[in-house]
Amino acid sequence: MEENTREPAGPYIVPALQKALRVLELFSAERRSLTTADFAAHLGVSASSIYRIVFTLTEMGYLTKTGRNTYELGPQVVSRGFSFLAGREILQVAVPYINRLRDDTSMSSHMAVREGTEAIYIYRALAPQRISVNVPVGSRFPCHTIAMGRVLLTALDDDDLTTLYKGVRIDGYPPPAPQTLLELKERIAADRRAGWALDYSDYSTAIAAPIRDYVGQVVAAINVSGPDMVMHNDGVQDSLRAALLKTADAISRDLGWSGRAAPATS
């Protein structure tokens, strides 16, 4: 097969990078495994010309070799926030569970993923009560200020957190948000040990739990949240936490999680 010699769309396009990103884009829920021949055919290049790109992506963890010349998306694709699992497929799996959690608890439930130091809300199951927590899809919050954000940060170890927050101010947000990086690390370590996080803000309370992918990485978070007048009644938080953890576990297992958490990493 002759390599496609079509000129790049603009003078600043980097052809090798463009090809690497197109390799990742070839994967989908229906196409989980692809060969070097598949890459070459879809990109219109020779198999030999794609080898260095595939080798580099594999070395960096963006591809995993599963057989002779056969590859799947690697753990870095998920942990870096690419859409294969952290977006569309996770929602396809999670939405029925989240809706059921909302129905069973009569509390609002949300899902978020991390982008840098922010948590992005990607789904909302709104409780039917007149007074409920209503955070629109697409909302962004600093991770350290909300329970789901702290849960998402449990995927990172101390060194990764230091790198992520280098030059980022986290003070200036009202308590109970941590005011220093050391305080944030201590809070995240406690959340990681507990397996869930709790947060109070604006007369409401939220409990969050992690969603893990097939390699055990935290790729999303879900919560149950409601007004303090309800959440602070005796026994309510305990029962909600149990329902939340059960739901998070079910979603994670549907995503292929075996039940053992991966080490914290970026």
Q: What is the CATH classification number for the domain harbouring 66?
A: 1.10.10.10
Shared domain for 36 and 164, answered yes or no, is no
d(CA 251, CA 62): 23
- Which of 1-15, 82-96, 120-134, 234-248 is predicted least confidently? 1-15
Please give the average per-residue pLDDT across 233-248, as a whole number: 94
pTM of the model: 0.67
Shared domain for 191 and 217, answered yes or no, is yes
Please check whether residue 256 is in contact with residue 193, taking contact to mean a CB–CB distance below 8 angstroms: no
Shared domain for 30 and 148, answered yes or no, is no
* Residue of 32, 33, 34 whose CA lies nearest to 43: 34
Q: Is 145 helix (H, G, I), strand (E, B) or coil?
A: helix
* Helix ranges (DSSP H) in the chain: 15-25, 36-43, 47-59, 75-79, 83, 90-105, 147-153, 158-164, 181-194, 228-231, 236-254
CATH of the domain at 216: 3.30.450.40
Shared domain for 47 and 172, answered yes or no, is no
Please check whether residue 19 is in contact with residue 39, taking contact to mean a CB–CB distance below 8 angstroms: no
Shared domain for 61 and 115, answered yes or no, is no
Q: Is residue 2 part of a domain?
A: no
Q: Is residue 7 part of a domain?
A: no
In the chain, DSSP finds a helix count (H) and a strand count (E) of 11, 9
User: How would DSSP label each residue in 77-103?
Assistant: HHHTT-HIIIIIIHHHHHHHHHHHHHH
Please give the average per-residue pLDDT across 74-89, as a whole number: 56
Shared domain for 166 and 89, answered yes or no, is yes
* Residue of 84, 81, 82, 63 whose CA lies nearest to 72: 63
How do 70-73 and 63-67 pair as beta strands? antiparallel
Q: Is residue 175 part of a domain?
A: yes
Rounded to the nearest integer, the mean pLDDT of the chain is 86
Q: Is residue 135 part of a domain?
A: yes
Residue with more model confidence, 47 or 198: 198
Domain range enclosing 235? 83-254
pLDDT of residue 5: 42
Residue bearing tokens 């986290």: 170
- Which of 27-31, 35-39, 78-82, 253-257 is predicted least confidently? 78-82
How do 140-142 and 118-125 pair as beta strands? antiparallel
- pLDDT tens for 17-68 read 888 888 988 887 667 789 999 999 988 888 888 888 999 999 888 888 888 8
* Residue of 28, 48, 29 whose CA lies nearest to 37: 48
Q: Is residue 3 part of a domain?
A: no
How do 197-201 and 70-73 pair as beta strands? unpaired
Q: Angle CA(228)–CA(231)–CA(236) in degrees, nearest 5?
A: 165
Task: Provide the number of structural domains found in the chain.
Answer: 2
